[in-house]
């Protein structure tokens, strides 16, 4: 009798026993909790207390600075993900909402980060007056603006290109709108979204100097962080300190890669739109620990049950009636015209309301001069995007078709994408001054330094999403050379490339503020362009000219997107929608 009872008891003991995976997962969870508690505890200190302890270039302070910067970027990434799921979904599923939200997204992407800081810094500081928390809000919002637009465009593009057979399957299974979103649309978009999350994180690093060293007119606050450390090192022309900052960035990016992004990439591999499993699926020791830990299973079980229960709710029309109506615009011409007329009236009213304030300090000459500067920046952006496309599209396809190589390239590309242009100021200034080069030409590469990677990451994601059966068909039919590029590779990556190019174009306009006006100690180089105009007006606190520069830049980006990029986007959506 005892022998019959012992095996079940032994099995129960084994289940209750703490495994090495439970210990590892527990240590990870505890480390994350300690990180949030210790780093977050400093957010409530008085602002005077922070200003009384000025920043130091001592390398021993860098770990603490890196923790503060990492927390800001992680919070901004979470807010960007929430914004992506709501904004992009509404724009993709509601035709009238999409008519407004996508142009708004174009405008928001075109507004430079200094523009957001100029307008919002004092507002966020008023939320928690006299506390560091208000300035932290301003910095997190600035980082959010460098992350959210790329992720939103990526998710929107995925929602617009969900294969029709998957949509039909969701109707046949009578999924509610909520269940269809989490069981079909989010999984389909997840592989591409994760690549763009990595790119957005790198974009946050690129603008971390502007977000942590807030200088608007008489307001000059430097939050403890890697970005403000870099700004101080540039002011003091301290090359060793810049070297320490680069090393710290590399360590933090590698930690993010191991603890956050590699587990996400390995987890998202299960959602590849493919009838065959990956030959060499990506692996992550963090994901393995979380999957094999009974502790994590026990903690996550209530959330999983709640999510499965929510799938039974039907808050929308049955059988995905809303989905069947998406992307149809031809039969609603009259409604569209009325809608556009309403938007035009509202826009005109806002313009007339703001006009007296603008013209009090701005004349026609200022407007014309700003437009000419906009054309100069536009030429730089077009040339740089074209060069980046010629270089990175073939490389991205080659890397995306080789998952084992893509996993090696991923952290390197993240680090290069995160490399702030400010760190190259010593080299750029020294070379341009020594060789007496033209700043209008040789400062331009700094604009594409961080944004070219949007093209590479999106093309890699597009190439990795090519189904294995499509590749096998190309091999079986002996499709090679230019024919293979024209029939398989380019059609497959074209929607992803357009998404990356749109974001890279908007990001290049944004980066012009950093690249067209370069300071290294007392040496200052300026290229004629709209970015330098906005940067100079921001440093002097001239809000009239700041708003004029932002408005002109937004109009330029919006017109370019409407005339050039959007038609390409719609063509990619109609012509190269993935079906099986």
CA distances from 328 to 249, 325, 332, 477, 518 (A): 47, 6, 8, 37, 48
Q: Is residue 84 part of a domain?
A: yes
Tell me the C-alpha distance between 555 and 106, whole Å: 10
Largest distance between two CA atoms of the chain:
99
Do the beta carbons of residue 161 and residue 574 sit within 8 Å?
no
Tell me the C-alpha distance between 397 and 479, whole Å: 16
CA atoms within 13 A on the CB side of 461: 31
Environment class of 531 (CB within 10 Å of its CB; exposed 0-12, middle 13-18, buried 19+): buried
Three-state DSSP class for residue 124:
helix
Q: Is residue 414 part of a domain?
A: yes
Three-state DSSP class for residue 46:
strand
First to last CA, the chain: 59
> What letters, b where the CB count within 10 A reaches 16 and e where it falls short, cover 474-503?
beeeeeeeeebbeebbbbbbbbbbbbbbbb
Q: Is residue 82 part of a domain?
A: yes
pLDDT tens, position by position, 83-126: 999 999 988 887 777 777 877 777 777 676 766 776 677 778 77
Q: Is residue 352 part of a domain?
A: no
Q: Is residue 543 part of a domain?
A: yes
Paired tokens of 205: 């690093």
pLDDT tens, position by position, 195-221: 788 878 877 777 777 788 776 556 677
> What letters, b where the CB count within 10 A reaches 16 and e where it falls short, cover 126-163?
eebeebbbbbbbbbbbbbbbbbbbbbbbbbbbbbbbbe
Mean pLDDT computed over 565-578? 72
Residues making up the chain, counted from first to last: 580
The DSSP line for 368-393 is HHHHHHHHHHHHHHHHHHHHHHHHHH
The dihedral through the CA atoms of 35, 73, 252, 224 has a sign that is negative
CATH of the domain at 419: 1.10.3720.10
Q: What is the mean pLDDT of the chain?
A: 78
Most confident of 24-38, 130-144, 237-251, 374-388: 374-388
Q: Using the predicted structure, report yes or no on whether residue 13 has a pLDDT greater than 50.
A: no
φ/ψ of 280, rounded to 5, equals -125, 80
> How many domains does the chain divide into?
1
Q: Is residue 37 part of a domain?
A: no
Tell me the C-alpha distance between 252 and 333, whole Å: 52
Q: Is residue 117 part of a domain?
A: yes
Q: What is the pTM of this model?
A: 0.74
User: To 10 degrees, the CA torsion angle through 50, 54, 57, 59?
Assistant: -40
Domain residues for 156? 52-272+280-323+363-575
Q: Is residue 560 part of a domain?
A: yes
pLDDT tens, position by position, 303-355: 778 777 877 766 544 444 444 444 444 455 666 667 667 766 766 776 677 66
């Amino acid at each position: 009798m005892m022998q019959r009872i012992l095996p079940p008891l032994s099995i129960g003991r084994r289940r209750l026993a703490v495994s090495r995976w439970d210990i590892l997962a527990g240590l990870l969870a505890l480390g994350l909790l300690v990180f949030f508690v210790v780093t977050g505890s400093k957010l409530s200190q008085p602002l005077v207390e922070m200003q009384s302890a000025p920043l130091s270039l001592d390398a021993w302070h860098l770990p603490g600075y890196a923790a503060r910067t990492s927390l800001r970027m992680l919070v901004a990434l979470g807010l960007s993900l929430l914004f992506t799921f709501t904004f992009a979904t509404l724009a993709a599923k509601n035709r009238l909402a999409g008519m407004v939200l996508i142009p708004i997204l174009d405008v928001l992407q075109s507004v430079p980060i200094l523009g957001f800081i100029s307008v919002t810094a004092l507002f966020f500081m008023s939320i928690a007056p006299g506390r560091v928390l208000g300035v932290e809000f301003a910095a997190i919002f600035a980082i959010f603006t460098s992350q959210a637009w790329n992720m939103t465009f990526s998710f929107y593009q995925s929602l617009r290109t969900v294969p029709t057979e998957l949509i039909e399957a969701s109707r046949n299974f009578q999924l509610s709108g909520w269940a269809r979103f989490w069981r079909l649309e989010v999984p389909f978009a997840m592989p591409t979204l994760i690549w763009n999350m990595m790119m957005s994180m790198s974009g946050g690093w690129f603008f971390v100097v502007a977000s942590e060293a807030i200088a608007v007119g008489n307001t000059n606050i430097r939050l403890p962080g890697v970005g403000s450390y870099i700004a101080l090192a540039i002011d003091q022309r301290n090359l060793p300190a810049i070297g320490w900052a680069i090393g710290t960035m590399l360590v933090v990016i590698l930690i993010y890669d191991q603890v956050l992004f590699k587990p996400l990439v390995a987890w998202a591999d299960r959602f590849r739109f493919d009838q065959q499993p990956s030959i060499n699926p990506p692996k992550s020791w963090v994901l393995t620990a979380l999957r094999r830990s009974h502790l994590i299973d026990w903690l996550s079980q209530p959330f999983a049950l709640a999510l499965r229960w929510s799938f039974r709710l039907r808050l929308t029309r049955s059988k995905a009636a809303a989905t069947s109506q998406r992307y149809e615009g031809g039969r609603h011409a009259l409604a569209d015209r009325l809608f556009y007329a309403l938007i035009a009236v509202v826009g005109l009213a806002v313009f007339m309301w703001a006009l007296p304030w603008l013209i009090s300090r701005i004349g026609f000459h200022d407007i014309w001069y700003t437009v000419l500067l906009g054309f100069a920046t536009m030429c730089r952006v077009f040339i740089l995007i074209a060069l980046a496309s010629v270089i990175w599209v073939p490389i991205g396809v080659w890397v995306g078709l080789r998952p084992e190589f893509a996993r090696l390239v991923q952290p390197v590309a993240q680090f290069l994408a995160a490399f702030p242009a400010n760190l190259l100021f010593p080299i750029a200034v020294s070379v341009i001054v020594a060789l007496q080069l033209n700043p209008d030409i040789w400062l331009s590469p700094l604009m594409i330094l961080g944004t070219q990677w949007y093209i590479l990451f999106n093309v890699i994601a597009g190439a990795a999403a090519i189904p294995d059966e499509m590749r096998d068909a190309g091999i079986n039919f002996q499709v090679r050379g230019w024919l293979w590029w024209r029939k398989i590779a380019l059609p497959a990556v074209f929607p992803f490339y357009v998404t990356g190019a749109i974001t890279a174009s908007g990001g290049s306009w944004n980066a012009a503020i950093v690249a067209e006006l370069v300071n290294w100690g007392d040496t200052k180089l300026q290229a004629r362009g709209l970015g330098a105009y906005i940067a100079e007006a921001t440093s002097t606190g001239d809000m009239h000219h700041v708003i004029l520069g932002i408005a002109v830049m937004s109009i330029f980006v919006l017109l370019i997107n409407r005339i050039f990029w959007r038609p390409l986007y719609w063509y990619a959506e109609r012509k190269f929608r993935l079906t099986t």
